Amino acid sequence: MAFAKVGVRNGLTLAALLMIAACSGAEDESAAGGPGGMPQLPVTVANPLVREVTEWDDYVGRFEAIERVEVRPRASGFLQRAHFTDGQFVRQGQLLFTIDARPSQAALDQARAQLARAQATLTNARTELARSRTLAAAQAASQEEVESRTAAVRAGEADIAAANASIRAAQLNVGFTRVTAPISGRVSQRMVDPGNSVTADQTILTTIVSVSPLHFTFEGSEASLLGYERRGDTLLGSPVRIKLQGSEDYAYTGRIDFVDNALSTGSGTISVRAVVANSDNLLRPGLFGQLQLAASEPAPAILVPDTAIVTDGARRVVYVVDAKNVVQARPVELGAVVDGLRVVRSGLRQQDRIVVNGVQRAQPGSPVQAQPGRIGPNGQVVTPQGQGQPQGAAPAGAAPEAKK
């Protein structure tokens, strides 16, 4: 009987100890910040930026010369000399090549001699006509003779006109032995060396391309074209800005001056062209570049860093921390990138606190330690201490994350 009482007393004591331990564990779990004793991880939160921006559509295209000329000779003969350096800038009318002019000069001299003969013949015909008219007036010559002499004078005048035309043609041929630049621009290398024979209107001597301004051509999609038309925008005259491959700045500006009259049936795109100034002559035809076309008028927009955006299947979400520091996944509709920040068309408000650093540590429905910060104009996250952190960097003092 005594042994039974001792067993009951020990059982009650063990139950009491288990209850105390359970209460202590619950208190420790609550203090730790979540089920399983997981601590609340620190993240940096900030309000989205709101400022007036102009959205731009991006296109890849290529620079082209407005004028491109294949320089061909107008006279046949042997090439005597080239008067330029390969690749130099030439002015319109500048001498480029000379062709042996002796055959053309001989033809010109022959035409001048024929003119002199025709003039002598005409002078003699006029003298005989005057004599015939005098004799006819004295009835010493027939009227038929006068008419014959008159026809001879008219033939002589025609011969002189033909001789003058031959002289002008010969002079042109002599002038064609001097090949000049038809436009101003940058000349290519010579394709025929002096001493070779060239054929009029066939042999290509070199090429010249204009350098300022230049055209920038690109292909626009059917959806983009319809979007501009629905908004009532006119592409012609729209401003554009262009940057070269490997450059960060859109250093060149221009305006749309041509939109093709039909879309390509194969690719569903339309050819568009802009005129770009090239005052420093650094641009060359054939260079690729990235063009931005203004897609909207300046308007207020919500901007967030790209690192604050999470891909959830087909959705794009941003983690928002509520008043109780609990993470919520907010679906958003994204726009273009402006100065390193992503435009959010819908899904966010200016007063929302979004996770801008430590996105990997935030889980929807879980509490976090929200450390305040702000988004700089260039997308850099600035902490209250005034030290900027690059996008995606962990806050100071946070434990490093393990790599998966």
Contact 60, 290 (CB under 8 A): yes
Q: Kindly tell me if the per-residue pLDDT of 240 is higher than 80.
A: yes
Indicate whether 396 pLDDT > 90. no
Paired strand residues for 144: none
Task: Determine the Cα–Cα distance for residues 163 and 343; give it in Å rounded to an integer.
Answer: 78
Residue 145 has pLDDT above 60, yes or no: yes
Is the pLDDT at 158 greater than 70, yes or no?
A: yes
Is the pLDDT score of 171 beyond 60?
yes
Q: Show the beta-strand stretches assigned E in 200-332.
A: 206-209, 214-221, 239-244, 252-259, 269-276, 288-294, 299-304, 309-312, 315-321, 327-331
Nearest to 75 by CA among 115, 53, 50, 105: 105
Q: Give me 100's structure tokens.
A: 């042996």
pLDDT tens for 57-86 read: 889 999 999 999 999 999 999 999 999 999
pLDDT at 306: 87
pLDDT-derived band at 387 (thresholds 50, 70, 90) equals: very low
CA gap 273, 258 in Å, rounded: 5
Residue 76's pLDDT is 94
- Mean pLDDT, the chain, rounded, equals 83
DSSP assigned state of 174: H
Q: Is 368 exposed, middle or buried (0-12, 13-18, 19+ CB in 10 A)?
A: buried
The pLDDT value recorded for residue 36 is: 46
**How do residues 30-53 score in pLDDT, each as one tens digit?**
444 544 445 688 888 999 988 888
Closest by CA to 304, choosing from 264, 346, 367, is 346
**Is the per-residue pLDDT at 29 higher than 70?**
no
* pLDDT classification of 279: cutoffs 50, 70, 90: confident
Q: Which two tokens stand for residue 253?
A: 């500006």
Q: Which helix (H) or strand (E) segment is 44 a member of? A: strand 42-46
Candidates 114, 122, 107; CA nearest to 162 is 114
**Mean predicted confidence (pLDDT) in 336-345:** 83
* pTM of the shown model: 0.63
Q: For residues 281 and 214, give the distance between their C-alpha atoms in angstroms, rounded to a whole number.
A: 10
